[in-house]
Amino acid sequence: MPLRLGIARAPRVPKGEEYDVVIIGGGPAGMSAAVYTTRFLMSTLVVTKDIGGQLNLTNYVDDYPPLGKIEASKLANMFKDHAEMFGAKIVTGVSVENVEKVDGDWFRVTGSRGLDVKARTVIIAVGSERRKLGVPGERELAGRGVSYCSVCDAPLFKGKDAVVVVGGGDAAFEGAILLSGYVKKVYLVHRRKQFRAKPFFVEEAKSKPNIEFILDSVVTEIKGKDRVEAVVVRNKVTGETRELKVDGIFIEIGNEPPKELFKRIGLETDEAGHIKVDEWMRTNIPGVFAAGDCTTLWPAFRQVITAAAMGSVAAYSAYNHLIEKGYYKPKPLTELRE
């Protein structure tokens, strides 16, 4: 399994401590936001369950310019080190439970392990949890042939014999079409006969001679010792099972943001629960910004580089918000690093 960074520990922040910004989330969006807020000399607290976000679901990243191919855990640590270099305080092993307006323009941020701090601005970068199959072998082989992002990981399978793509929406079909150019055989497994994907994607996939559709079927097990070696598929109508010898499986069945948290905060979301933002990462609540996979921006292209870009823009907007409100009091860099 990929290394999961950020071992849980109790926050080292006193109750009621005040910050220019609290960033919720430790993935590429949150850490990039922290790099920029601290460069703007804003006192910054990052609160997160772990470091890396979606990077924890893979072993390697090869599409983050200009790093070439790099271990995902190493990249996550680089994000963390960069933010800390400028003075961001990072607390891991903590879940934020609410953000509420108090005392005028302050926000009170509360969560597990006694977290209770105040901030002039808040950046939400909690990402979105990829839906999982919940079958044997999935967790054990995550990042070892089990992927949740075809666009991210397809090049890593160049020249392989076969892969499985699970799903019936746009992401699954785009993934299957993309993978058909990298591997010899693509099995697209879907639990129904009908697809949610756009007709264009369906017809494009059907035109590929190396894509085979396995319909009315579900994956029941992922097999392999150190890497994915086979996938067991069961037909829901006949009950028949078959074992596919494959090098990987791409699970494209959607994702789900923490909708209940967003509801408690009062954030406006789309039907899927993603936070509505404008091009400056502003939400419907002045002073609260959002970035990364938890937002409505660029939903069809969730990448490390786009998340990082959104984080930097959110930081710039938070900085401008402080200036507009008259709250910008830059902290000396030496003080931020203490």
> CATH topology of 18-130+255-336 equal to that of 146-251?
yes
Residue 10: what pLDDT?
A: 44
Per CATH, domain 18-130+255-336 is 3.50.50.60: yes
Q: At what angle do helices 170-179 and 199-206 cross, to 10 degrees?
A: 30
Cα-flanking dihedrals φ and ψ of residue 19, to 5°? -135, 155
Q: How far apart are CA 11 and CA 104, in angstroms?
A: 26
Instruction: Kindly report the pTM of this predicted structure.
Output: 0.73
CATH code assigned to 146-251 = 3.50.50.60
Q: How far apart are CA 318 and CA 77, in angstroms?
A: 24
pLDDT at 134 > cutoff 60: yes
Residue 302: what pLDDT?
A: 81
pLDDT at 275 > cutoff 90: yes
pLDDT at 159 > cutoff 50: yes
pLDDT-derived band at 1, boundaries 50, 70, 90: very low
Radius of gyration of the chain (CA): 21
DSSP codes of every residue in 98-140: EEEEETTTEEEEEEGGG-EEEEEEEEE----EEP----TTTTT
Residue 337: what pLDDT?
A: 67
* Domain ranges within the chain, ordered by starting residue: 18-130+255-336, 146-251
Residue 63: what pLDDT?
A: 85
Residue 7: what pLDDT?
A: 42
Give the model confidence (pLDDT) of 17-76 as tens digits.
Answer: 999 999 999 999 999 999 999 999 999 999 998 898 878 766 778 888 998 889 888 999
Give the model confidence (pLDDT) of 196-206 as tens digits.
Answer: 888 989 999 99
How confident is the prediction for the chain on average, in pLDDT? 91
DSSP codes of every residue in 6-38: -------S-TT-EEEEEEE--SHHHHHHHHHHH
68 phi-psi bin (left φ>0, alpha ψ -120 to 50, beta other): left
Q: What's the mean pLDDT in 274-280?
A: 97
* Strand, coil or helix: 142: strand
User: Looking at 56-65, 147-156, 278-287, which range is the least confident one?
Assistant: 56-65
Residue 291: what pLDDT?
A: 98
Residue 171: what pLDDT?
A: 84
Q: What's the mean pLDDT in 192-214?
A: 94
Pairwise pLDDT comparison (5 vs 123), residue with the higher score? 123
Q: What's the mean pLDDT in 150-177?
A: 92
Provide the percentage of residues in the chain whose pLDDT is more than 70.
94
Q: How far apart are CA 55 and CA 127, in angstroms?
A: 11
Q: What's the mean pLDDT in 316-323?
A: 98
